[in-house]
Amino acid sequence: MPWYHVPGNHDMNYLAPDDAESLLSFRRHFGPAYYSFDYGRTHVVVLDTVEYLGTSRGAADADPLGAGSYRGAIGERQLAWLAACTSPWSPRSIPPRRASMSATGGGSSSS
């Protein structure tokens, strides 16, 4: 079975100024933070469910050991992509004997 990478709260760059840049290293090494694919008769959706909030001190003083905070969230851009990605797969349109699943890498909160 192929191996697929899913970003989680331990994959963030705590020196990044914001969520938009927090997964630059992950994307450089593994690819997109969210995507979908078919595996046999199963449609798999991989989501980035961690929003990096930065630190109260700002990016210039961020702590690489994890002082930045994050929360479980899916942004508007990803939700729009998800709606477009799954529109052909409404519950009424999923063919018999075809499954759909999603994978996420985390999403609890930290401070």
* 91 vs 72: CA distance, rounded Å: 26
Amino acid letter for position 111: S
The sheet with strand 35-39 has its strands ordered as 35-39, 42-47, 99-104
Closest CA to 20 of 58, 62, 75: 75
More confident residue, 48 or 16: 48
Q: Return the CA Rg of the chain.
A: 16
Prediction pTM value: 0.70
Cα–Cα separations (whole angstroms), residue 53 to 19, 38, 56: 6, 32, 9
Closest CA to 4 of 106, 104, 109, 110: 104
Condensed to tens digits (0 to 9), the pLDDT of residues 36-56 reads 888 887 788 889 998 888 765
Least reliable range by pLDDT among 24-28, 32-36, 103-107: 103-107
